[in-house]
Amino acid sequence: MKTTFRQKYLAAVLFCILVLNTTLSFAADSLPSWNDGPAKQAILDFVKSTTDTSSLKYVPPEARIATFDQDGTTWVEQPLYTQVIFAFHQVGVMAKKDPKIAAAEPFKTVLSGDRAAIAKLKMPDLLKILAATHTGMTVEVFQASVKAWLATAKDPRWKRPYTGLVYQPMLEVMKYLRDNGYKTYIVTGGGQDFVRVYSEQVYGIPPEQVVGTVADTKFSYDKNGKAILTKVPKLILDDDKAGKPSGIHMMIGRRPVAAFGNSGGDQQMLEYTQAGDGARLMMLVHHDDAAREYAYGPKSKVGNFPDTLMAEAGKNGWTVISMKNDWKRIFAFEQ
């Protein structure tokens, strides 16, 4: 191949752009929404030591697994889990098609809009609502119903789509980890099929990297003989508390080196992460900012952060992230 001066010149320019770009990206702050402090420093130190081949804490690329709880860790969970709000909405959709649903409990209570009565619903009622709204349809029909709801539903406090209520600092951590060779996973007590609908768009995490609570599917054929999967109300994985390490083992098959949570439901995931050899990063988001988001802790029914968890964090050297002090901004839409 004969190269002209022009070609050589162009190649050299390309080369320079590459070098400059790399230099610039290393100099930039990867966590701009974080205030300087121990939490931000813990993340920076962890990434530096686990990706530096000369470090004793170096972690080979294939072992770089980071897991993130979702509700309360990467997006708002108060006053009610987003998926429960979706389920309540779906009861309305179903009642329009089938008046028998409108007349039967616990659906009647949900449709009444009576908040006090809804708050009194017991676990068997909630399971009935989840079964009715999350099973009995093909996987594709369920996914479409989640998509349709997310496109129009808005959180009453911020008047924004629920997928807009993700924590900007956590999105930055996820991206920073990925830019450093980490594979990021959502490990949530929420429904796997629910979260997978928006995980790529919202978190940059593909569906196959979402581990959540799993109900079974049943294989059969539709009237045209086409193979279909129907969601059925049989629990396969309860991805909460001790279920999280089991879910991680089943779905990933490797122990995470970094894990992020915010409640008692994440304790075992963090313990399991810490029990591995070498460098480890365990972090808990603490909701202590009523002005910008919510402040809740040991007494909350949603996202319970018991005092025993705070004590364990201290004893084990886990980093507690104060939303108030560690986060410069909480949402991308803030200035």
Task: Tell the smallest beta-carbon distance from residue 3 to a second copy (Å).
Answer: 5
Q: Scan residues 265-284 and list those touching a second copy (CB under 8 A).
A: 268, 271-272, 274-275
Q: Which helix (H) or strand (E) holds 268?
A: helix 267-274
Q: How far is the CB of 213 from a second copy (least distance, A)?
A: 11
Question: For a second copy, which is the closer residue by CB, 165 or 186?
Answer: 186
Tabulate helix, strand, coil % of the chain (nearest 5): 45, 20, 35
Question: Residues in the chain, how many?
Answer: 335
Tell which positions 198-217 bind a second copy, by CB under 8 A. 200, 206-208, 210, 214, 216-217
Q: How far apart are CA 328 and CA 163, in angstroms?
A: 20
Give me the least distance between CB of 153 and a second copy, in Å please.
22
CB nearer to a second copy: give 40 or 280. 280
Residue with tokens 């029914």: 301
Q: What are phi and psi of 262, to 5 degrees?
A: -150, 0
Question: Which of 27, 60, 219, 291: binder of a second copy (CB under 8 A)?
Answer: 219
Per-residue contact flags (x/-) with a second copy for residues 51 to 90, judged by CB under 8 A: -----------x----------------------------
Longest dimension (CA), the chain: 81
CA distance 44 to 30: 9
Question: By the 8 A CB rule, do 91 and 111 touch?
Answer: yes
Closer residue to a second copy, CB minimum distance, 141 or 290: 141
Binding of residue 139 to a second copy (CB under 8 A): yes
Which two tokens mark 283? 């972090």
- Partnered with residue 231 across adjacent β-strands are 217
Half-sphere exposure of 102 (CA within 13 A, CB side): 8
Distances (CA, A) of 259 to 21, 143, 199, 224, 267: 31, 28, 18, 46, 10
Contacts with a second copy, 224-263, as mask; x by CB under 8 A: --xxxx------xx----xx-xx--xxxxxx---------
Piece of the chain touching a second copy by CB under 8 A; list 2-10, 80-88, 118-126, 154-162:
2-10
63 or 80: CB nearest a second copy: 63
Q: Which is nearer to a second copy, 20 or 117 (CB)?
A: 20
CB 145 → a second copy: shortest distance, Å?
16
Q: CA 324, CA 327: separation in Å to the nearest integer?
A: 6
- Terminal-residue alpha carbon distance, the chain: 53
Give least dist CB 192 to a second copy, A. Answer: 7
Collect all residues with Cβ–Cβ distance below 8 Å to 297 and sequence separation of at least 6: 286, 287, 288, 305
Strands (E), the chain: 65-68, 183-191, 210-221, 227-237, 258-261, 281-286, 319-322
Q: What is the smallest separation between the CB atom of 253 and a second copy, expressed in angstroms?
A: 4
> Nearer Cβ to a second copy, position 163 or 246?
246
DSSP conformational letter for 78? -
Q: Establish if 193 lies at the interface with a second copy (CB under 8 A).
A: yes
Query: How many chain residues touch a second copy (CB under 8 A)?
Result: 49
Q: Does residue 1 belong to the site contacting a second copy (CB under 8 A)? A: yes
Residues in contact with a second copy by the rule CB under 8 A: 1, 3, 7-9, 11-12, 14-16, 19-20, 62, 139, 183, 192-193, 196, 200, 206-208, 210, 214, 216-219, 226-229, 236-237, 242-243, 245-246, 249-254, 268, 271-272, 274-275
